[in-house]
Structure 1
Amino acid sequence: MDTAQNKMWNKNFNLVIIGQIISLFGSAMLRFALSLYVMDITGREDIFAGLFAISNIPILLSPLGGAIADRFNRRNLMVIFDFSSSFVVFIFILLLAQNGHSILLIGVVMVLLSVISAMYTPTVTASIPQLVEESSLAGANGIVQAVQALSYVVAPVCAGILYGIMSVQALIAVSGAAFFLSAVMEIFIRIPFVKRQSEGAMLKTIGRDMKEGFVFVAKQPFILKAMLIAALINFILTPLFVVGGPIILRMTMKSTDTIYGIGMGIIQFANILGALLIG
């Protein structure tokens, strides 16, 4: 192992990666279990697709998450986000036991967790440059992205197997425990934090930061064109895989929980393979 790798694998970076693995794995398992649960109790493709669409709207808050990460202690933000996810999940379990099959409740929970996730991911990404030296930054960012990609491959397979042998409440509880464990681990992370000078109220300052980010992107033709192309591809192709795939596997082909999990894992694995081929 060379010097750059030795400098990259320090205690704080290791804790961030382990916490990210646990948190993302729990989140991916939960989304998978809820989507499977909705299809099983309703048998309707339109409800499943509608819930998926609504739960993905908060991803538009990612720029806000990045702006917040620039103004507050990133370790504290990660801890707050994971504890919040854990709290939402355990309250969800209690309400699910009382209200039974509530599609509205499932939708609200999926939206709340999506909001938290939209804030969590930019915070983790923004913390990496403070944890490793510049010479190791490319490798460290690659590991963060690999963890995110692998969680979407392994989690559906594991969730599909567990969904077939335990109740959905138990599977949701496992995800909540994962969020809680991740938050506890992140308490021990030390990320350097220098409070930036703010001009005026914090909300106005964060709004100004977001505006500066959008202006910077707008002035970079290559970045702007790449974003527009990616948005167009996602608009056309992503629904086929993330909505059409589950419907075809579960409702048309009547696959078992395990086969469904493996099928969704293979679809996500294709994303990793594509990235490797481009590299």
Structure 2
Amino acid sequence: MGTIEAENSAVAERSDQPAKLLNKNFVLLWQGQFISQIGTQVHGIAIMFWLKHATGSATIMGTLMMASMLPGVLLGPIGGAFADRHSRRKIILYSDLFSGILVLIVTLMLFYRPGDVDFIVVWLTITYIFMGITNAAFGPALSAALPDLVPREKIPAANSLRQSTMQISSFFGQGLGGVLFRLLGAPILFLADAVSFFISAISLIFVKIPQKYPERVAGFRAIFDHFKKSIIEGLHYVWKHKGLRSLIFSAAFLNFFIAPVGILLPFYVEDTLKSTPDWFGYFMALLGAGALLGYAIAGWLYIPGKKRSLLIVSLLIIESLTIGALGLVRSTYIALIIFFFIGLFNGTINIYISTILQVTTPTEIRGRVFSVLGTVAGGLAPIAMGLAGVIADLLNKNIPLIFILCGGISAALAILVSLGHEFREFLAHEIPRAARAK
């Protein structure tokens, strides 16, 4: 693996960094995102089952999910450069506010024009495209801001808390989402999501995020040139570090074969397992519980570099095989256990990789690196979702076969990737030991 520049100063010591993990700024950001995530998880279940019941088409569902993700993927490098050159606090705040307004408009349509399915689907597509555009800057801004809100040695713990919060919200939001959808319907759940975005935006008003800005420039042409230069710098940084480059491209192909599982899950629950939407929520709740345990393990248990690298590679392979196993079971209870372990493996992997990226990347370019990761690693996922819907309809909703194929191919890719020396060396990079539980 190539030498990582500024390795010792990637997360520089700053005079304005707080002395403790649970400081005011981090807690406000943390709790605001927690509330927003609960609304988002409930919204996710509501939209998937509303689409299934209203249209019965996996193609429409896959296309809509693709439309929601593709803008963020394509605009990721621009969003990362934007997050490095503008206030990350304002980006996060305005993204939450704008998303809340968009979801509120959809809510009103579901209340007042519930029978106009075609019109609602078109408007949902437009809404998700605009939300995807805002997320192109929101994601890199949030990931890049977190290391500057906590002490350097607490970054792994902060990542663990952030991801744990997301999974706790998933546990409650998705765990109850199926039941709430059956009892209350989609419009009420959409309204709850809009309110959660507004609450998160209000929390951001009181947050101060320290940030080191690149040199400011004036004039449209100069601004354009600097944005182009910033994007190229981010791409160049990723390309010249072979281990980082291998990680990003590997994630892209793995995501391509794992993404169809999420989009086809409502059909798996109702058509394959012959269960109600409640069980979709239970599966997601156990997935979140498993991930929560994985976050706790990765955030507080120190594992030396080479052993951690071996663990990550092993979990990638096992997780893929576990996903394929879903296609072989017809028991909701066995599927419930499988989802718990998928969450456990995925949560552990995500914390380790996020922390490695944060501690090896200088703060002034961190947003661009995360945006490249999101663009390349997530670039194939929207395409996979769109194709999954079409293929599912062509195969007459043979979801088990699709799950088995996706899991098997993902496992084979994970084994192939693990043979790369640079990839294993990058995963073995040392991270701060102070994150261990005491």
TM-score by length of 2: 0.58
Shift of 1:233: 1.1
8 A contact 2:29–2:207 mirrored in 1: yes
Tell me the number of residue pairs that the alignment of Structure 1 and Structure 2 aligns.
275
Partner of 2:320: none
Task: Report if aligned partners of 1:58, 1:111 keep a CA contact under 8 Å in 2.
Answer: yes
Across the aligned residues of Structure 1 and Structure 2, the Cα RMSD in angstroms comes to 2.4
Distance 1:77 1:41 in 2: 35
Q: Mapping of 1:8-87 within 5 angstroms?
A: 8-60=21-73, 61-87=75-101
**For the residues of structure 1 that align with 2:160 and 2:140, how far apart are their CA atoms?**
15
* Runs of 5+ consecutive residues of structure 1 not aligned to the other structure: none
Q: Which deviates further from its counterpart, 248-257 or 215-224?
A: 248-257
CA distance in 2: counterparts of 1:277 and 1:197, whole angstroms: 38
Which residue number in structure 1 is paired with residue 386 of structure 2? Answer: none
Q: Which of 156, 173, 177 is the matching residue for 1:138? A: 156
Aligned pairs (5 A) from 1:107-146: 107-146=125-164
The residue that corresponds to 2:107 in the other structure is 93
Instruction: Please tell me whether residue 260 in structure 1 is matched to residue 280 in structure 2.
Output: yes
Does the alignment pair 1:206 with 2:227? yes
Contact between 1:49 and 1:243, CA under 8 Å: does it hold in 2?
yes
Q: Distance in 2 between matches of 1:194 and 1:111?
A: 31
Give the fraction of aligned pairs with identical amino acids, expressed as a percent: 27
Shifted more, 103-112 versus 12-21: the winner is 103-112
Specify the alignment match of 2:194 in structure 1: 176
Counterparts of 2:133 and 2:165, CA distance in 1: 20
Match of 1:229 in 2: 250
Give 1:177 shift: 0.4
- Which secondary structure does the structure 1 equivalent of 2:133 belong to? helix
How far off its partner does 1:193 sit? Answer: 4.0
Distance (Å, rounded) in 2 between the aligned partners of 1:99 and 1:119: 32
Q: For 1:191, what is the secondary structure of its paired residue?
A: coil
Once the two structures are TM-superposed, the CA of residue 106 in structure 1 deviates from its matched residue by 1.9
**Residue 243 of structure 1: aligned partner:** 263
CA contact (8 A) 1:246 1:264 kept: no
Higher helix content, 1 or 2? 1
Q: How far is the alpha carbon of 1:34 from its aligned partner?
A: 0.7
Give structure 2 stretches of 5+ with no counterpart: 1-17, 291-340, 353-438
Q: What CA deviation, in whole Å up to 9, does each residue of 1:91-118 have, x standing for no partner? A: 2222333443221122222332333333
Check conservation: 1:89, 1:173, Cα contact below 8 A: yes
C-alpha change, 1:250 and 1:208, in structure 2 (3 Å) is farther
Report the residue type matching 1:246 in the other structure: P
Which letter maps to 1:83? L
Query: Computing the radius of gyration over CA atoms, which structure comes out larger, 1 or 2?
Result: 2
**Aligned partners of 1:66 and 1:126 also within 8 Å:** no
Give the Cα–Cα distance (whole angstroms) in 2 for the partners of residues 80 and 266 of structure 1: 32
The structure-2 alpha-carbon separation of the partners of 1:276 and 1:91, relative to structure 1 and needing over 3 Å to count, comes to: closer
Following TM superposition, by how much is the alpha carbon of 1:160 offset from its aligned partner in structure 2, in angstroms? 1.1
Distance 1:161 1:204, change over 3 A: farther
